[in-house]
Amino acid sequence: MALCNVYCTVVAEGIINPITIARNLLMSFVLPSQLLNLTVPAVCFLMLGRVHIHSYTVSGWIPTYQWEWWRRFFTLRVQFGIVMTTSACILLAGFYTSLAHPTFPRLFVPCSHGDVVCWPRKVSVICVGLCTGLSYAMKYFLGNRNVITPNPAHPRKFQLIKANFSFHKLKEACNSYGASKFSLLCTLCICMVISALAHLSGGGAWQDLVRIIELPLLVIILLSTILLANTLFLFTVIFQIFLAEPIEIPLAIEEDGSAGADETTWRLSNALSSSGLLQLLAFWDLKTLASADPRNFLRRSQIFAISQPGGHPRNWLGIMNPSLNLIRKFTERLKRHNCPEELPKPPEGASPPATDVNKNEVTKPPPVPLRERIVKVMLSLKGYPVFSYFLSELPDATNRGIFAEALPVIWAVQALGDLVAASFTEDKFGVVQRNIPDILMAFTQLQKMVDSVGRVSVTRRASTGENFQSEQQLRKALKLSLRSAIYTVTTTFGPTVLEMPVSAECQSKLQSYLEFKEA
């Protein structure tokens, strides 16, 4: 708004007096008439906020088939979000343009009968908002821009917001949200063509096109597009900063761990067993808690405590069990897709289904749902060249979809590794030592699967390489986290890890870590 007011004062009115510029800026935020104009961006931000609140996720969406991309695009939820986003962008584009040009017609004000340039100029602004809104909505809903990730740093929220006002960040926002050089040129061409068609279809003369397509109007359209792209970028950044703010979840202390405590009390063990954003923030809090920061010593000491009376390690078990379950489920998903022969098979001597005297099954199998029938019919069409593009499975889409959900697993591995290493000096009651073999075997099994998958899959195609970058980074981060965690444990406990009751495969792997052969 300040940039639009400065542009209006300096360029449109030709005033370069700094006192006048400062007075106009101050009055634009004080006058009741200007305050009334703030309802337009307020309504736009409410619309964008409604879309963001109901559409964010914590893991990327990876389509298995090409037709799933189109199916997601035509869903009612995505279409409603696109309409809301483009409507908000059109209103913001008109708001910025009316601020930058004092005589520019507002979108809600009807055009007068003798004004031949009013409607074509409105059409130009609508095209600006429509192009920018569609570009943002497509990347948000179908390009995984709605993934929420907690910030790894811990500065204040204002410092995080201020860091995104740098020139590099704003330039990146322009390139990402429809204000790059190519998209600006396309937007200008579309606006000029549509404005000319709107003018000529209304009965105007072609000589009036010079008044419509003028240099100041083109400059204002460029300014509005850049401001709109940066507004969308900053809105998304601020939304993610406030939504994914790290939280400190209380641990179950001795009083809570007693038998008479309320089982529904909200604590870290409950949050780790949940799903979605709460689980992600819980594992981030657990990773921070397990780090070697002296400020976390008091909270970390509660993990190694036992209940009095009884001597039960409820705090440690409430953290270890959800973490190990998450790691084992992730390993099982990789094994089910890449090594199905290693999964346990049903016993050969299983009893056959019950039959009557006519050898007919007594219990009829449940009917196949209609949706599964449609899917089978569509997949049967893959042999035809016309349908093969849409129905053929994308390269290694299943593995990419699995690794897209690896962020809480990474933090669980890092937290368990740090807690096991810290137990060497801080665990007075030995509540962690009995579970170290289970943790090491879970780590080595997961590392085996990640290494085997990494050698043959997680490919990257040039046409959709942007979507695959996050999965590749998460796979590499998981691989590095596993090696770092196992090295932390082996260097802390030394050769004594070989005396733990682990499998022969795990023991061989630990031996290579003790000899520093893993790199």
- Residue 441 — very low, low, confident or very high, per pLDDT cuts 50/70/90? very high
Mean pLDDT, residues 475-502 taken together = 92
| pLDDT average, residue stretch 169-188 | 71
pTM for this predicted structure: 0.81
Residue 198 has pLDDT above 50, yes or no: yes
Report pLDDT for 466. Answer: 46
Confidence of residue 493 (pLDDT cuts 50, 70, 90): very high
Higher pLDDT, 475 or 374: 475
Q: What is the dihedral of CA 430, 435, 440, 442, to 10 degrees?
A: -160
In this prediction, residue 357 has a pLDDT band, given cuts at 50, 70 and 90, of very low
Q: Quick one: pLDDT at residue 437?
A: 93
Alpha helices in 259-384 (DSSP H): 268-272, 276-290, 297-303, 314-338, 370-379
H runs (alpha helix) in 61-213: 66-73, 76-100, 118-142, 157-163, 167-176, 181-201, 209-212
Residue matched to tokens 């429509």: 130
Cis before 369 (ω within 30): no
Task: Say how many C-beta atoms besides its own lie within 10 A of residue 260's C-beta.
Answer: 5
pLDDT in tens, 296-348: 888 888 888 887 777 788 889 999 999 999 999 999 999 888 777 666 665 55
For residues 239-260, give the mean pLDDT: 71
Output 518 or 111, whichever has higher pLDDT.
Answer: 518
Answer yes or no: is pLDDT of 4 > 50: yes
How many angstroms separate the CA atoms of 252 and 16, rounded?
64
> Where is average pLDDT lowest: 75-84, 277-286, 390-399, 418-427?
390-399
Q: Give the model's pLDDT for residue 12.
A: 67
Least confident of 24-38, 68-82, 439-453: 24-38
At residue 168, the 3 state secondary structure works out as: helix
Chain-wide mean pLDDT for the chain? 79
Q: In terms of pLDDT, which residue wins out, 426 or 111?
A: 426
257 vs 454: which has the higher pLDDT? 454
Q: Is the pLDDT of residue 486 over 50?
A: yes
pLDDT band of 116, cuts 50, 70, 90: low
What residues contact 91, with CB distance under 8 A and at least 6 apart? Answer: 40, 43, 44, 107, 129
Of 1-15, 49-63, 97-111, 335-349, the range with the highest mean pLDDT is 49-63
The C-alpha atoms of residue 448 and residue 442 are separated, in whole angstroms, by 10
Does residue 83 register a pLDDT over 90? yes
Which of 51-55, 76-80, 110-114 bottoms out in mean pLDDT, i.e. has the lowest? 110-114
Q: Which of 323, 341, 457 is nearest to 399 (CA)?
A: 457
Per-residue pLDDT band for 259 (boundaries 50, 70, 90) equals very low
pLDDT at 447 over 90: yes
- What pLDDT, on the 0 to 100 scale, is given for residue 331? 93
> What percentage of the chain carries pLDDT values higher than 70?
73
pLDDT at residue 193 is higher than 90:
no
Of the segments 170-179, 425-434, 439-448, which one has the largest average pLDDT value? Answer: 439-448
Instruction: State pLDDT tens for residues 7-46.
Output: 777 776 677 777 777 777 777 665 655 666 778 888 999 9
In total, the chain counts a number of residues equal to 519
Give residues with Cβ within 8 angstroms of 223, minimum separation 6: 3, 4, 7, 96, 100
Mean pLDDT of 273-299: 88
Higher pLDDT, 261 or 178: 178
pLDDT at 454: 60
**Residue with tokens 């931000």, as numbered in its chain:** 45
- Determine which of 38-47, 158-167, 405-414, 510-519 has the lowest per-residue pLDDT on average: 158-167
Q: How far apart are CA 491 and CA 487, in angstroms?
A: 6
Q: Are 267 and 253 in contact (CB under 8 A)?
A: no
- In this predicted structure, what is the pLDDT of residue 257? 43
